Chain A
Amino acid sequence: MAAHVTTPGSVEPKMWMGGIEPMKASYGKLMMWFFLISDTFTFSALLVSYGYQRFSFPAYLGDFADFKFSNLYWPIPERVYEAVPFLHGMSLPLVFVGIMTFILIASSVTMVLAVEAGHRMDRAGVEKYMLWTILGGFTFLGCQAWEWSHFIHGTDTGSVFKVIENGVEVTKTVFGANLTENQYGPPAFADFFFFITGFHGTHVFSGVILNILIFFRAATGFYDKRGSYEMVEKVGLYWHFVDLVWVFVFTFFYLV
């Protein structure tokens, strides 16, 4: 550190004169925090515009038990997300998304344990917990791929909707969802599903890539040679942020 170097006649280091860390955090860590702030705005924009669409669309007012998919009102999320792999045809509302939430929280814990091992310069600990985190990330992505596939292909019976085609109103059965058609409700609902969970999934994917990179560098002794495992901490910040976003997506997309 610059503070240890004393040249005759040199000035005392001051807060904003360089050579010291004004917020007691390294440059890289600060920049990661400010990147995450900008990412917060992006995700907020997506989630708030979902709220905006939902508020400008009629809500389902009838009894919960009588609920049917319709493109005239916003769907109840419990009725949309009720499929679980290997349990075809069973109604298990929010169970699968609950499992996904658990996986992501668990992988956040292993990530923070890797950071803690890094503080002790415990290379084996960092390797072990990074591998668990990578595994959690891949599992989450696999779950999301299944959820998307189910959402796109739809239920066995589909939904009978009145839709406008080439300016004429026709009655047809819609199976699954894409960007223009949606058996679960208004097309905008499916659009937001694809954009919000897709953007989050992209973040998880790049997080897994970064985690693999960190694991590789830790395993080859790069951070031992450098004398600091701070990179684990920086990538850890990103990974926790991905978990944080999922907490909000879970509440505002799946619960309310």
Chain B
Amino acid sequence: MSEVHHIHNQDPNAGAEQRKAIWKTFWILLILTALEFVIAFTVPHGVLKISIFIVMTIVKAFYIVGEFMHLKHEAKSLIWSILVPIIFVAWLILALLLEGDAIFQAIFG
């Protein structure tokens, strides 16, 4: 393992491509957040607005997890071990939102 840093130390351009990718991700996140602000004040409140926000949030999450947390470049087995458990969260969302709506109908419906 000790030979690794000697190689890297001699090359001043090492990691330049990676740094470029980092800043590209930064700009994508920044522009998406700015767009979210524009949408918050221009699109009327409703299903469309919420759907746009959820899609944009997932895109931002993709870039943070994929690029910043480097998951996109890990072994396939690691990617799937992290992503598959999220199914439980999807189930939780479905179950509790249906339950919440049922309570609303029972009290105010």
Residues of chain A having any CB pair with chain B under 8 Å:
1, 22-25, 30, 33, 37, 40-41, 44-45, 48-49, 51-58, 64, 76, 78, 93-94, 98, 101-102, 105-106, 108-109, 111-113, 116-117, 119-121, 227-228, 236-237, 240-241, 243-244, 247-248, 251-252, 255-256
Distance A193 CA – B53 CA, assembled complex (angstroms)? 20
Which of B15, B77, B92 is in CB contact (< 8 Å) with A119?
Answer: B15
Q: Are B53 and A243 closer than 8 Å at their CB atoms?
A: no
In B48-85, the 8 Å CB interface with A consists of 49-50, 53-54, 56-57, 60-61, 64-65, 67-69, 74-75, 77-78, 81-82, 85
| A37-B96 contact given A24-B75, A120-B14, A240-B69, CB 8 Å threshold | no
| Contact between chains at A121 and B9 (CB < 8 Å) | yes
Complex CA–CA separation, A76 to B75 (angstroms): 43
Known A-B contacts A56-B104, A57-B104, A113-B19; A40 and B86 likewise in contact (beta carbons under 8 Å):
yes
* B53 with A251: CB separation less than 8 A: yes
Is B93 touching A241 in the complex (CB atoms < 8 A)? no
Residue of A nearest to B34 (CB): A98
User: Can you name 5 A-B pairs with beta carbons within 8 Å?
Assistant: A33-B82, A41-B88, A56-B100, A120-B15, A240-B65
Complex CA distance for A200 and B31, rounded to whole angstroms = 24
A76, B49: Cα distance in complex, Å:
14
* CB-defined contacts of B33 to chain A, threshold 8 Å: 98, 101-102, 105
Contact between A256 and B61, CB atoms less than 8 A apart: no
Residue ID in chain B nearest A78 by CB atoms: B40
A3 to chain B, nearest CB (A): 12
Contact B15 A241 (CB under 8 A): no
Given A53-B100, A56-B107, A109-B22 in contact, is the A116-B92 Cβ separation under 8 Å?
A: no
Chain B residues, CB < 8 A from A22: 77
The B interface, classified by DSSP as helix, strand, loop or mixed, is helix
Known: A108-B64, A120-B15. Contact between A33 and B78, CB under 8 A? yes
- Closest-CB distance, A114 to chain B (whole angstroms): 11
Beyond A108-B68, A116-B15, whether A23 also contacts B61 by CB under 8 A is no
Bound Cα distance A41, B33 (Å) = 24
Contact of B82 among A37, A51, A236 (CB under 8 A): A37
| A41–B86 CA distance with the chains assembled, in angstroms | 8
CB distance from A241 to the nearest CB of B (A): 7
Nearest CB in chain B: distance from A153 CB, A = 25
**B57:A247 contact, CB within 8 angstroms:** yes
In the complex, the answer to whether A23 meets B78 with C-beta atoms within 8 Å is: yes
Which residues of B have CB within 8 Å of A49? Answer: 96
Contact across chains for A244 and B61 when beta carbons are under 8 A apart = yes
A227 cross-chain contacts in B, Cβ below 8 A: 1-2, 4-5
Residues of chain A within 8 A (CB-CB) of B61 are: 244, 247-248
User: Does A98 lie within 8 Å of B37, measured CB to CB?
Assistant: yes
Residues from chain B with Cβ under 8 Å of A51 in the complex: 93, 96-97, 100
- Interface pair A52/B77, CB less than 8 Å apart: no
